[in-house]
Chains A and B, each alone.
Chain A
Amino acid sequence: MAKKQKEAFFTPIGIDTGQNGEIEKSVKLPEATKKTHKQLGLSDDDVVNMFEQMYLQRRFEERAMQMYQKGKFGGFLHLYIGQEAVSTGTVFAINDDDDIITAYRDHGWGLVRGVTPKEGMAELYGKATGCSKGKGGSMHFAKVENHFWGGYGIVGGHIPIGGGLAFANKYQQNNRIATCFLGDGAVDQGALHETLNMSQLWSLPCIYVVENNGYSMGTSTRRHTVGEIHERSKGYGMKSALFNGMDVFTVYENMKKIAEEVRKDSMPWFVEIRTYRYRGHSMSDPQKYRTKEELEEYQKTDPIQRLKTYLIDKKVSDKKNLEEIESRVEEQVLEAIDFAEESPFPEDEALFEDMYADEPFFHDKK
């Protein structure tokens, strides 16, 4: 008689037993930089501005979530809360005309690259005054004039497009580099691997950055991909880095160094930034795949609180000044909500606008 076969499991060995009471961290955070803002070449104004930018992203989304829960608008809403140091540190590190493209968790990126809170909130509401005229919604924020090429909704779909932005920069010899942000879930898409190969083959000036927030929707990193993400580019001979994304100085320091190198030698980089998503994948996510303790542990490392503490400890600013900034931001966000609510929806004619740059054509349109 044949030996009894072990039951077939399709999950990595060792984590098939479920919760054992311990906090199962899906991402382990590397050490943050020890350098002060001065040592990093940032002025007092710069870091206070960083705080304001991060706080704006946070409050914008917290308020957006409230409005969503009140039923003010529909569609998907993927929140960036917890990851603000990544967008902010990057935007301060690269040039204003360097290109940024990202996936659908894009509100923070839009806000820090010039989508005003009003334009952003109006886009969530589907209003004509939104940054994408209400045609894109939450997943398709963009500000192309500021080289923010948008959020894209197909996981991995924007990765080769990021490579294409870099291709055009190299072709035009304009001294711009491209940065392409993707989630850890997108690491498993073939598009990434095709793009990494061609980027290295053709020396495209692009930084591919994985914002590893621990979860591919509801599947933890350890359960959806093998090995270490940042090592994934080794097979392509591409330079890589891994660093902490809960500390804005660490993101700034590393992205600045990498961006300078890419600008100089036009060779791509593959970067893993470890961060954490406080909220669910989208608003409909019951988050049964993680424990409350795990979430709380990461919230202790909150990037905004961390910067605030730093600013006060180092006497760059004081509590009063920061509170003033906080109320100014709050005011701005509330004004954005009023603006979104009062703004008109797009006119019916807008349905057929923006499809074509040239003479539009619509089959069988009477």
Chain B
Amino acid sequence: MAVLQFREAIREAIDEEMDRDESVFIMGEEVAEYNGAYKVTEGLLDKYGFKRVIDTPISELGFAGIGVGAAMNGLRPIVEFMTFNFAVLAADQIINHASKARYMLGGQLDVPIVFRGPNASAGQLGATHSVAYDSMYAQFPGMSVIYPSEPDDAKGLLKSAIRNNDTVLFMESEQMYGLKGEVSEEEDYIIPIGKAKIKREGDDVTIVASGKMYHIAKQAAEQLAKDGVEAEIIDPRTIKPFDIETVIKSVKKTNRCIVVDESHPFGGMAAEVGFLIQRDAFDYLDAPVRRVTLPDVSAPFSKPLFDLWMPNAKDIIQAVNAVTYRS
């Protein structure tokens, strides 16, 4: 096992896939000469040149669409957004074209494209830079949505994403790029899309959390263990397709579940997982499923308000206390 930063794990995945397949290229704002806004693509320009590492203007709609056309016509683009908050400008290409073209033309073409970049909030950046889009994109058929939490998952899943022959959204976090973790040194390390991972075993309560939320769930679980409550943490890693079987199996064991979701509450991953648990494991539940999400309000700038807005370990502990009837 090698210890890598999250950004290094992503870079390794991109580098290995570009090395392996001439049709893979990366484009986005600041990916080439600047070496990446968050240094994910550092060194790639030197290695692959301007043909395969392409700086774009600030034209998300335009370059996302050029990526879609290139994918249809034989290439495998990795389109980097400086954040998924800016990808809203490219939503027509992602939602209306990348994910739908194959179906509406009766399967005549493929769109093997990866859209990647940081998702959700990264501290006090105000309302437009702080939204988690994984649940929103998961609403639409035709694409996978991946939101990994640790460098190892990121590497194996990104390699799968680049090899996938359909549209994949791969979400990262500005706040996790420097996070270190052990990454498999297995040659050609691949993690299949759509498989959850039990990252902590426990019998008392199931906590489902992906991306940045996994790390606060982990903090909460450590606190809870001191009180004798053993939480089982499931990181879905992939929001779509969602590995509900792993969650249901765990809930049948723990009989209680908290879903932590960095999206707003209406219709998000938490709502969906909560629904499926009540339908498929109703008789096993000893308490209603609880969720910890952002409130239904835009991100504030002011530090105290921001801290109030962002889910934290305390919110998770409170939810666990509620479902274990300890509060």
Could you tell me which A residues sit within 8 Å of B by CB distance? 99, 101, 130-136, 140, 142-145, 149-150, 152, 154, 157-169, 171-172, 178, 190-191, 194-195, 197-198, 201-202, 353-358, 361-364
- Whole-angstrom distance from the CB of B195 to the nearest CB of chain A? 12
The chain B residue with its CB closest to the CB of A169 is: B73
Please count the residue pairs between chain A and chain B whose beta carbons lie under 8 angstroms apart in the complex.
Answer: 156
Query: Which DSSP category, helix, strand, loop or mixed, fits chain A's interface?
Result: mixed
15 A–B contacts from the bound complex (CB under 8 Å): A134-B106, A144-B109, A150-B101, A150-B105, A160-B68, A160-B69, A164-B73, A165-B70, A168-B75, A172-B74, A194-B59, A198-B56, A354-B106, A363-B138, A363-B240
The answer for the CA separation of A149 and B70 in the assembled complex, in Å, is: 12
- In the complex, the answer to whether A168 meets B106 with C-beta atoms within 8 Å is no
> Which of A167, A190, A358, A363 interacts with B61 by CB under 8 Å?
A190
Known contacts A162-B69, A164-B69, A357 near B106 by CB under 8 Å: no
A164 and B66 contact, CB distance less than 8 A: yes
Evaluate contact between A133 and B71: CB separation under 8 angstroms: no
Chain B residues with Cβ under 8 A from A165's Cβ?
69-70, 72-73
Does B102 reach chain A (CB closer than 8 Å)?
yes
Known: A157-B97, A168-B74, A364-B276. A163 touches B106 (CB 8 A): no
Q: Which of B62, B102, B107, B241 contacts A160 (CB 8 A)?
A: B62
When distances are taken between beta carbons in the complex, the residues of chain A under 8 Å from B108 are 132, 142-145, 150
Query: Which A residues touch B67, using CB under 8 A?
Result: 164
**8 Å CB interface, B43-98 against A:** 51, 54, 56-57, 59, 61-75, 92-93, 96-97
Pick the residue among A101, A131, A162, A357 that contacts B112 (CB under 8 A).
Answer: A357
- What chain A residues lie within 8 Å of B141 (beta carbons)? 355, 362-363
Shortest C-beta distance, A202 to chain B (Å), equals 8
- The DSSP consensus for interface residues of chain B is mixed
Residues of chain A within 8 A of B61, CB atoms compared: 160, 190-191, 194
Residues of B contacting A364 with CB < 8 Å?
Answer: 276
A residues in contact with B59, CB < 8 Å: 194, 197-198
Q: From residue B238, how far is it (CB to closest CB) to chain A in Å?
A: 10
- Minimum Cβ distance to chain A for residue B179 (Å): 29
Contact (A355, B102) CB under 8 Å given A160-B61, A165-B72, A195-B66:
yes
Q: Taking the nearest CB of chain A, how far is it from the CB of B31, in angstroms?
A: 14
- Alpha-carbon distance A191/B112, docked complex (angstroms): 22
Q: Are B57 and A135 in contact (CB under 8 A)?
A: no
- Complex: how many Å from CA A154 to CA B65? 13
Instruction: A166 to B67: give the CA distance in the assembly, Å.
Output: 11
Tell me which of A99, A159, A363 contacts B73 (CB under 8 A): A99
B166 touches A (CB below 8 Å): yes
Contact partner of B62 (CB less than 8 A), chosen from A130, A135, A178, A198, is: A198
> Beyond A355-B102, A361-B241, A363-B138: 16 further Cβ-contacts under 8 Å?
A132-B108, A134-B106, A140-B105, A144-B108, A149-B109, A152-B97, A160-B69, A161-B65, A161-B66, A168-B72, A201-B57, A353-B107, A356-B165, A357-B112, A358-B166, A363-B141
